[in-house]
Amino acid sequence: MTGRDPTAMPNVFRADNIADLSARSQDLIARRARALGPAYRLFYERPLEFVRGEGCWLTSANGDRYLDAYNNVAAMGHCHPAIVEAVSAQLGRLNTHTRYLDEQIVQYAEDLLSLFPAELSQVMFTCTGSEANDLALRVARHHTQARGVIVTANAYHGVTEAVAAISPALGPHRGDDSHVRYVRPRGVAIGDPDRLMESVAEAIGSLQRDGHGVAAIMLDTIFSTDGVLPRVDDLAGAIELVRQAGGLFIADEVQAGFGRVGPDYWGFRLHGLIPDLVTLGKPMANGYPVGALVAQPDFLSRFGRDNRYFNTFAGGQVAAVAAAATLREILRPGLLQSVAAVGQYMREGLLGLARSYSAIGDVRVAGLSIGVELVRSGAGEPDPEMAAHVVNSLASQKVLISATGPDANVLKIRPPLIFDQDHADIVLAALRKALHAR
Ligand SMILES: Cc1ncc(COP(=O)(O)O)c(C=O)c1O
């Protein structure tokens, strides 16, 4: 089993920092720990409490406005008026489930599928990304009659027992992973060649030798928790090896999907790949819980013949309306071109910073999914302390980002898709100040 201490989550609040917080924060932290128990984590050295959201801005309990350059769920901006209005109206009209005929969910399904390659032509609804991945695993295992799964070395795919077991980012206590093999999506140091095909070939051999067979490789197509890696050599070859071994390719688009990477809509398109199964979630309904599994029908046929599927809250009228209203906003002319343009503007700004500050070892950008790898000057070693300093310095400047990667040294900048150049300038200025202060 690989993995690290679960308390080592990047950008985690440590209770030993509590003394200099306000009395209100200290009290809420203590009550939260008592009521929610020990498994939850808070972000930032000084935890934040928000009471209002609008566009790219969050307002804290003491009235300060923070620029949100981190939260991807409210992709069209916090509390988007047209989406709030559509959801509220439907809540007042009807909310049942998918065991009745309903035009809205079928229309939404058709509209969603029209954004996929023709091969991916059926969709099943869930409430979360975890459920979508769990369902994808069930489908893949039923289709292949195999159990083994290949994921990346610091992947995160969710919280059910099945998907926690394939989420090494959760640390060593995530459950039985004897049927899971881990591959590195990139070379060890910046600039080292990727060896994905080699490690996938080894993983397949190991799963076959141990009698698990290969059900699937599941990949977050921008490798967010592996350090934000929108380009990985050998990906197509690695997928081909899995397919030759009988396994399916599941693209986890919970992070990458719905325009996060720009006009390509989906992360798998950055790699020129067509997955067998695709999972969706987070930004799908701008904060209302909607997820989905999109599939090539051949892979659903045996599963559908042998199982029935019902998910109480998934695909009901409010979910359908929330997702449809969000999709309408995402498809507004110019939005995804703006994602690409602002992403490019951020890239240029970050590369400018990299010329002044040798702590920046690499800048990786796909649309508005941005990773900035921080290294110790000269040595090129990962610098998680620097990443923690920058993330917390930005929070003190009222700009929200976080950190990620197996070494917790990659700044993760992942704002709502409506982020514009003025917002980008605020982030870049705050980053300059944080880097200068070290
Ligand atoms: C890549 C990826 N897959 C799956 C999930 C799980 O989604 P959810 O939290 O909606 O269950 C996440 C959540 O962070 C994710 O980032």
Average confidence score pLDDT of the chain: 95
The closest of 257, 310, 323 to 135, measured between CA atoms, is: 310
| Best mutation site among 72, 130, 279, 404 for ligand 1 pocket (most ligand atoms within 8 Å of CB) | 130
Residue 5's pLDDT is 55
Distance 282 CA to ligand 1 centre (A): 7
Distance 156 CA to ligand 1 centre (A): 7
Residue 19's pLDDT is 86
Contact present, 124 and 303 (Cβ < 8 Å): no
pLDDT in tens, 61-82: 999 999 999 999 999 999 999 9
Residue-wise DSSP of 92-143: TT----TTS--HHHHHHHHHHHTTS-TT--EEEEESSHHHHHHHHHHHHHHH
The response to whether residue 253 sits with its C-beta less than 6 Å from ligand 1 reads no
Decide which of 227 and 192 is more confident.
227
Residue 7 has pLDDT above 80, yes or no: no
The response to whether residue 389 sits with its C-beta less than 6 Å from ligand 1 reads no
Residue 334 has pLDDT above 90, yes or no: yes
The response to whether residue 56 sits with its C-beta less than 6 Å from ligand 1 reads no
Give the C-alpha separation, 324 to 126, whole Å: 15
Residue 190's pLDDT is 75
Residues in the chain, total: 438
Residue 243 has pLDDT above 60, yes or no: yes
The response to whether residue 223 sits with its C-beta less than 6 Å from ligand 1 reads no
pLDDT band at 275 (very low <50, low <70, confident <90, very high): very high
Distance 254 CA to ligand 1 centre (A): 6
Residue 384 has pLDDT above 80, yes or no: yes
Residue 9's pLDDT is 83
Give the C-alpha separation, 277 to 151, whole Å: 15
The response to whether residue 393 sits with its C-beta less than 6 Å from ligand 1 reads no
Distance 4 CA to ligand 1 centre (A): 19
The response to whether residue 167 sits with its C-beta less than 6 Å from ligand 1 reads no
- Atom 3 of ligand 1 has which residue's CA nearest to it? 157
The response to whether residue 226 sits with its C-beta less than 6 Å from ligand 1 reads no
The response to whether residue 254 sits with its C-beta less than 6 Å from ligand 1 reads yes
Distance 253 CA to ligand 1 centre (A): 9
Residue 267 has pLDDT above 70, yes or no: yes
Residue 411 has pLDDT above 80, yes or no: yes
Q: Residue range 325-342: average pLDDT?
A: 98
Residue 377 has pLDDT above 70, yes or no: yes
Residue 379's pLDDT is 74
pTM higher than 0.95 for the full model?
yes
pLDDT band at 161 (very low <50, low <70, confident <90, very high): very high
| Best mutation site among 135, 156, 161 for ligand 1 pocket (most ligand atoms within 8 Å of CB) | 156
pLDDT in tens, 110-138: 999 999 999 999 999 999 999 999 999 99
Of the listed ranges 60-69, 293-302, 378-387, 417-426, the one predicted with least confidence: 378-387
pLDDT band at 18 (very low <50, low <70, confident <90, very high): confident
Residue 204's pLDDT is 98
